[in-house]
Amino acid sequence: MILQSVIDIAEICARKDVQDIVLSPGSRCAPLVLAFARHPQLRVRTVPDERSAAFIGLGIAQQTQKPVVLVCTSGTAAYNYAPAVAEAYYQHIPLLVLTADRPPEWVDQLDGQTIKQSQIYGGHVKRSLDFPVETNHADSQWHATRLINEALNETVAFPEGPVHINIPLREPFYPEEGETFAYSSEVKIIEEVSPSGQLASEAVSTLQAELKGFKRVLVVAGQGRKDQDLQEAVQNFCRMTGAVFVTDTISNLQIEGETINYHDVFLAAKAVKAEPSIQPDLLITFHKSLISKNLKLYLRGQQQMQHWHVQPAGQVADTFQALTRIIRARPESFFQQITFTQSEQTVAPAFANAWFELNAQGHSVLERFQENSPFSEFKACHQVLRNLPANSLLHLANSMSVRYANLIGVSELENVEVMANRGTSGIDGSTSTAVGAALSTDLLVTLLTGDMAFLYDRNALWHNYLPQNLRIVVLNNHGGGIFRMIEGPRNQPELRPFFETDQRQTAQKTAEDMGLTYLKVTDGNALAEALPKFFDLSAGPQLLEVETSSPENYQVFAAYREMVQQEISLDKNSSL
């Protein structure tokens, strides 16, 4: 068959342990659709909206940690993948993006659904490849097979990420009656062995010797998955050296009493920012992005410190403008290999004491404020996060949801893993990503989102795979409430409607149209009453809408900020 090399793409994917395919219907992609849909070892789902399809694929890959294949037709369908592709690139999520295309001679000839698709994602993919137009010759078949192998290997090579293959296809697209449609039994598979990520013994000795010269060591973890071995390795390192471990919510490494979890609270206090007792002389970082702007700005102000970043391969970002050393190792290996005895500890105890004293103050201020403040979306988030079921997943939409969650934290909960699209930090695919995760686990998946992010991504629910374990909490303040929290737009006469985007919709009709049980609350008592039923795993997919007022939310949050300024300082005794 002329399209045998295209059919064999599915076979190569199956043999290289790909399990999930997310495709969107179209004509030009028909050979790819048939190849994947007919393969007995692949799980294929159809999602009509390409933007949602790509984010659902990202959510699946994020959860399974295996490549997910996206398939779409030609033209602007490919562009609709772009937001999820960019997110996958910066979040290091393995996607194989297959875009069907017209043959190259028809580009710019005013033919239907024809745009310039080669290299369409620019620098937001690890590689962009062009599938051969003709594969009748043996060399072309070898080339086609090699490209698919190389692309899949590249998706999982550290740092993982998306790879794009543009596939020009000529008609006919469909096998004729009686024509053989079979996968090649002798298809070639190319495997790649990953490097160990271990430090050489000479490097270990050098780093250990240098570490002994630092008196104030701060370890900061970026976004990452739950990893018990890594967590124990960092904890042991901190116990041996006296270093302080700071963790955002999305690091999934928070442990009450052992990590600094409330830095986003206390670093907002003006009295703390110039406090010399907490200033590090060495910063050690690993993993990806941080949520906390307070932490990022604080560390950017510490230009006297050294900064080591631990990462086995790939480009390293100088987020704090202080990078002095890149350590090519897996974080777990680094912290396991750099060992000390208790007698060798050189970090000043006062450094850790100051950080933990401020952490305790931050926690105290946060909890006392929540207990005594009027109902708002901030308080609603606190109620939801403090009542999450154990052994569940939490997805956070961007804008205020993820910021509230980082202030409140989930450290007191048992085995709750936190996910968020913090690669590009857009609101466009938060619901779709949570849906993808829910399709890939039996655990309860809770999405905490705002009204704008939810309404923007309603097509996340427009398909035939609504997960029974999905729960969505929509914080509806009827506009982009985050802009009222920011001094710049808040002080402009155009705040509404040009920043807050005043809208009067609710999520009720969407929930009903898509088959979710709908609940609505407007106060804390009703929310407390609704949560047990909402989190019941046997109750099916549900949407809980929390309706609040944007001006009132601002007043509550402003009062919280004022309390932070008044009560957090190392110059007085803790209020605990």
The confidence band for 345, taking pLDDT boundaries of 50, 70 and 90, is low
Q: For residues 245 and 255, what is the distance between their CA atoms, to the nearest angstrom? A: 10
Q: For residues 461 and 464, what is the distance between their CA atoms, to the nearest angstrom? A: 8
Selected from 2.40.40.20, 2.10.109.10, 3.30.750.210, 3.40.50.1220, the CATH number assigned to the domain covering 202-361 reads: 3.40.50.1220
Q: Give the pLDDT score at 574.
A: 41
Tens digit of each residue's pLDDT (9 = 90 or more) over 54-80: 999 999 999 999 999 999 999 999 999
What is the chain's Cα-based Rg? Answer: 26
Question: Is the predicted pLDDT of residue 487 greater than 80, yes or no?
Answer: no
Q: Three-state SS for 432?
A: helix
Q: For residues 11 and 71, what is the distance between their CA atoms, to the nearest angstrom? A: 15
Q: Is this prediction's pTM over 0.75?
A: yes
What residue ranges of the chain are covered by domains with CATH 3.40.50.1220? 202-361
Question: Which residues, at least 6 apart from 182, have a Cβ–Cβ distance to it below 8 Å?
Answer: 7
Beta bridge partners, 471, equal 446, 542
The confidence band for 177, taking pLDDT boundaries of 50, 70 and 90, is confident
Q: Give the pLDDT score at 575.
A: 39
The confidence band for 481, taking pLDDT boundaries of 50, 70 and 90, is low
The CATH superfamily label for domain 373-566 reads Thiamin diphosphate (ThDP)-binding fold, Pyr/PP domains (3.40.50.970)
Q: For residues 568 and 266, what is the distance between their CA atoms, to the nearest angstrom? A: 6
Look-up of token digits 């004729």: 176
Residue 76: how many CB atoms within 10 A of its CB? 12
Structure token pair of residue 191: 């495997």
What residue ranges of the chain are covered by domains with CATH 3.40.50.970? 4-168, 373-566
The verdict on domain 4-168 having CATH code 3.40.50.880 is no
Q: Which helix (H) or strand (E) holds 72?
A: strand 68-72
Q: For residues 496 and 494, what is the distance between their CA atoms, to the nearest angstrom? A: 5
Tens digit of each residue's pLDDT (9 = 90 or more) over 95-149: 999 999 999 988 888 888 889 999 999 999 999 999 999 888 999 999 999 999 9
